[in-house]
Amino acid sequence: MNCPQLKLENQLCFPLYAASKEITRRYAPYLEPLDLTYTQYIVMLVLWEEKKCNVSELGKKLFLDSGTLTPLLKKLEAKGYIQRTREQSDERCLSVSLTAEGESLKRKAASVPKSMASCVNLSEPEAKTLYTLLYKVLDGLEVP
Amino acid sequence: MNCPQLKLENQLCFPLYAASKEITRRYAPYLEPLDLTYTQYIVMLVLWEEKKCNVSELGKKLFLDSGTLTPLLKKLEAKGYIQRTREQSDERCLSVSLTAEGESLKRKAASVPKSMASCVNLSEPEAKTLYTLLYKVLDGLEVP
DNA sequence: CTGTATTTGATTGTATACAATTCAATTTTA
DNA sequence: TAAAATTGAATTGTATACAATCAAATACAG
C-alpha cells in the first residue's frame, strides 16, 4: 500500500511539532537562571505586560486550560513571583498579580529574547513571514 | 521598565508553541477511531514507511528520547500494533516492527492527512513556505 | 584478551497538557 | 425569588516530554 500522504516528510504538522519542542528545549539554559520553565516564562511575559490577570484570561491568551495553569501558578506563587487572590467582586475569579520579586525579575529576563533569536537561523524577513503564517494558522483554528 | 522585546506579541516562539499544541489537539478526533494519540500516530507514520526501526532511530527521526518512547512503544505493543524484540546481533538494540494489525491500520489512517489539511487555513503556497521555514529552523538548531 | 569506554534502552523524577468532572459562586429565568 | 443554567477554578486521570541516571552489551585500547 503506497501512501505518499502518510510519509513523515509530507506532513506539515510534524516540523511544527518538532520545531516547537526543540525551541522550547533551547530556552531552558537561558531560563534556568530565572528559575523558570518555558511555560512559566510565557505566563510571566503576560504578567509583566498586564500587571494583573485572572486564570481564564491567561488561559485564553496562552491557549492553556486550568488543568495546566492551576498547578503552574501555585508553583510561581511558591517561588515568590506572583500572588493569587480571589477577586472581591466575583469570588469565582482568581486574580494573579506580580510580587515585587516577580516584577524585578523582568530586568533579568530582558536579555532572553535576543539570546534565543540568535539560536534561530532565520533572516529578519523569514522570521516575519514565519510569524505571520503561524498566526494565520492559529487564527484559522480559532473557530472550529 | 519598558521592554518591547518581552511582549508576548513580539515573540516568535509563542505562535510556534501555541500553533503546535492546537494542531495536535485537532488531530485527536481523527485519531481516536484508530486508537492513537498524536505522538503514537507519528511513530506509526515512521513504521508504515520503514517497516522496522530501533528506538534510537525513531528518536532521531522524531526528536524524541527514550524516556518518551519506551513507555509509548509499550502502549503500542499492548494495543497489538507493534512488536518489540531485541536484535540478535546487538542485544542492546530494541527492534520495533509492525504487526499485521498495525500494518492494516495504515488503510484507516490514509484519510487523516486530508482531514487535517482542511483544518489548516492556508493556501498551498503558504503551507509550502511554512513547511520550508520550519525545516530551516529545525536544521539550524541541529548543531547547537 | 582484559579492563575501560561507549552505546543503547530503561528508569526516575519533574513539569507540562488537556479532557472530563466537580464544586462553588454568580447570573438567568420561569 | 427560588430553581436552573452558566461560569471559573480546581481536581482527576491519562499521556507526553526531557534531564539525569543506570545497567547491560559491545567496542576498543593496550
Q: Which of A63, A58, A113, A54 is nearest to A84 (CA)?
A: A54
pLDDT digits (tens, 9 = 90+) for A104-120: 999 999 999 999 999 99
% of chain A beyond a pLDDT of 70: 98
What band does A1 get if pLDDT is binned at 50, 70 and 90?
confident
Backbone φ and ψ for B46, nearest 5 degrees, come out as -65, -45
3-state secondary structure of A95: strand
pLDDT digits (tens, 9 = 90+) for A17-32: 999 999 999 999 999 9
Which amino acid, one-letter code, is at A4?
P
Q: Which of residues 108-137 of B touch A (CB under 8 A)?
A: 109-110, 112-114, 116-117, 119-122, 126-127, 129-131, 133-137
Q: Give the three cell numbers for residue B69.
A: 518512547
**Conformational region of residue B63, where left means phi above 0, alpha means psi within -120 to 50, and beta covers everything else:** left
What band does A144 get if pLDDT is binned at 50, 70 and 90?
very low
pLDDT reported for residue B1? 81
Whether the pLDDT of residue B142 is over 90: the answer is no
* Cβ-Cβ contacts under 8 Å for A29 (sequence gap 6 or more): none
Who touches strand D, with Cβ under 7 Å?
A 17, 21-22, 25, 28, 54-57, 59, 65-67, 69-71, 73, 84, 90, 92-94; B 24, 37-40, 63-68, 71-72, 75, 89-92
pLDDT digits (tens, 9 = 90+) for B56-100: 999 999 999 999 999 999 999 999 999 999 999 999 999 999 999
User: End-to-end alpha-carbon separation of chain A, Å?
Assistant: 32
pLDDT reported for residue A142? 61
Q: In chain A, what are the domains?
A: 13-142 (1.10.10.10)
Distance CA B84, CA B74 (A): 8
Distance CA A92, CA A95 (A): 10
pLDDT reported for residue B144? 43
pLDDT digits (tens, 9 = 90+) for B28-67: 999 999 999 999 999 999 999 998 999 999 999 999 999 9
* Cβ-Cβ contacts under 8 Å for A44 (sequence gap 6 or more): A36, A76, A81, A102, A105, A106, A109
Mean pLDDT on A81-106: 97
% of chain A beyond a pLDDT of 90: 94
pLDDT reported for residue B110? 97
Q: Which of B62, B109, B105 is nearest to B80 (CA)?
A: B105
pLDDT digits (tens, 9 = 90+) for A50-70: 989 999 999 999 999 999 999
